[in-house]
Structure 1
């Protein structure tokens, strides 16, 4: 079974990845979580949901995964965490799919990846914690950007983000226009 790694950290926005991880659950992919905390410790999401990660950063081997998911939140508290930054950078350097949403691309900036890709994020130059780590010239005014092995999206576009990640993982055909229609429009079924 193929594995997808999701990096969870204090403040991660669980709602931005909930549809994506629900869809991964019904696929041939196993979701594995990692955090910057020691084994046995929990992280608290933006909605105050406590999550105990499967792995610590020391236990992550990028070769074991076909993708890395970075939820939004306030990852700026990790910009000086060399283990977290090195882990993110190693996925990029090995050309493994990275999917980051909302503030998650901040970790791409801290790892120097925003120097090499076009991206989008729910970040602006007014977000003082991110000013010095992001390459603002490479930021696009789009809701979703795919460049090289990186998918980025703004936070409110979590359904489009999930759809693109599912396409990149070949879970849904690239030509299918609305694979997550069920989540977009209410129905009686």
Structure 2
């Protein structure tokens, strides 16, 4: 059990992340007292996407190649179409997500980010949601897809879109405080 004020939370993203799906959970989690680390396949900074245009940058703290699951209490995966599509082609990013899932620690993905969960082969037999356009991909990867604001399956937290961010972030806080979950094969 970890108090949110003592939690170390990683956010894994790259260029093309949906601005609100990184910045808003980051802000809300920091306000609750969590320490946030931005992890990427890139160094320097990464650029957000908003309303069909490039937008604000955010500094990268750690490259995924040197990130350790043991250093964090939870992992957040923001969406956007480009961000998870790029990350799911990076072996280190996929491995980090799979290892995080295997640790039993809370793992949260919103919008298109469940693509990365599918690539990491962690949705099989799990209840999940996502942006509707990737519903078939999630089902084909073995997930039990449902159209809900937020879905939690043993610490695996998923949401559909930016309109779900408040519920998504509240669930992250709740799951971090619950601690690790046993995640045997479904």
Distance of 2:59 and 2:49 partners within structure 1: 15
Query: Secondary structure at 1:146's aligned position in 2?
Result: strand
The Cα RMSD (Å) is 2.2
Residue 117 (structure 1) aligned to one of 126, 137, 154: 126
Give the strand-richer structure, 1 or 2.
2
Distance of 1:116 and 1:56 partners within structure 2: 31
Distance verdict in 2 for CA 1:24–1:139, change over 3 Å? same
Distance of 1:81 and 1:119 partners within structure 2: 22
How much does 1:142 deviate? Answer: 1.6
Matching of residues 4-153 of structure 1 within 5 Å:
4-37=9-42, 39-40=43-44, 42-47=45-50, 48-74=55-81, 75-124=84-133, 131=137, 134-135=140-141, 138-153=144-159
Instruction: Please identify the structure whose Cα radius of gyration is greater.
Output: 1
Assess if the C-alpha contact under 8 Å between 2:139 and 2:145 holds in 1: no
Counterpart of 2:182?
Answer: none
Structure 1 consecutive aligned stretches of length 4 or more whose deviation exceeds 4 Å: none
Deviations 1:99-139 (A, max 9, x none): 1111111100010011141100004358xxx8489526511
Distance of 1:125 and 1:160 partners within structure 2: 20
Assess if the C-alpha contact under 8 Å between 1:17 and 1:162 holds in 2: no
Distance verdict in 2 for CA 1:34–1:8, change over 3 Å? same
Q: Which runs of no fewer than 5 residues in structure 2 stay unpaired?
A: 1-5, 179-186
Q: Which runs of no fewer than 5 residues in structure 1 stay unpaired?
A: 172-189
Assess if the C-alpha contact under 8 Å between 2:128 and 2:143 holds in 1: no
How many aligned positions are there? 166
Counterpart of 1:184?
Answer: none
**After the TM superposition, which of the residue ranges 52-61 and 137-146 deviates more from structure 2?**
137-146
**After the TM superposition, which of the residue ranges 25-34 and 54-63 deviates more from structure 2?**
25-34
Assess if the C-alpha contact under 8 Å between 2:115 and 2:137 holds in 1: no
> Given the two structures, how large is their TM-score scaled by the length of structure 1?
0.79
Q: Which has the higher contact order (CA 8 A, sep 6+)?
A: 2
